[in-house]
Amino acid sequence: MQTTILKNGLIMILFVAVALAFEQAPAQAMTATEIDLEVQEALTKLYKHSDTAKDFGKIAKGILVFPDVYKAGFIVGAQFGEGALLKNGKTAGYYNTVEASYGLQAGIQSFGYVLFFLQDEALEFLDQSDGWEIGVGPSLVIVDKGFAGSLTTTTAKDNIYAFFFNQKGLMAGLGLKGSKITRIHPK
């Protein structure tokens, strides 16, 4: 009996946490124009704070930007965000990122991230896959502030580099493994 009450209580807390986390998230899917504006603002902010990211932007074959990703969880978690792929500075497609997780986790957060595709093969994999699950396919390196200080475009040997920014909220851990990126068609 107590186990059932505890389990139901945990599920109720999860729903409240998810509702609070997504309270500031858009009530409906964003339009292409809204996504484009947020992508440009996010990229400008990232470049202002990271010379390494700015250098990668100059040589990348494609740049996939997710300005606002929302994540919440208590044992069971979920993550969602929308963004755009830029090629030669122009929008080449729109994508969402979704993740479901289970394990020791608790919290609510929002953040943004940018994936710099340095090789054509990695970009082609994104274009040809019907939803790309990060961790399957091209190699990806997550760049933190310490690593960014020693990384240059000449020492970069992997296919894709991820930069995080605007992290807000409380959630243990930050990663992309298990995230699925899928092409969308906003209005």
Q: Which of 6-10, 68-72, 106-110, 120-124 has the least mean pLDDT?
A: 6-10
On the question of pLDDT at 138 being above 90, the answer is no
- Distance CA(63)–CA(167), nearest Å, equals 20
Q: Bigger pLDDT: 168 or 28?
A: 168
Q: Grade residue 1 by pLDDT with cuts at 50, 70 and 90.
A: low
Using alpha carbons, select from 95, 99, 117 the residue that is nearest to residue 174: 99
Could you report the per-residue pLDDT of 10-42, keeping only the tens digit for each? 454 545 444 444 444 444 678 999 999 999 999
Could you report the per-residue pLDDT of 88-115, keeping only the tens digit for each? 999 999 999 998 887 777 889 999 999 9
Q: Grade residue 135 by pLDDT with cuts at 50, 70 and 90.
A: low
CA 160, distance to chain mean position in Å, is 13
- pTM attached to this predicted model: 0.78
pLDDT of residue 120: 92
Q: Grade residue 81 by pLDDT with cuts at 50, 70 and 90.
A: very high
Average pLDDT of the chain? Answer: 79
State percent of the chain over pLDDT 70.
Answer: 70
Neighbours of 132 (CB within 10 A): 22
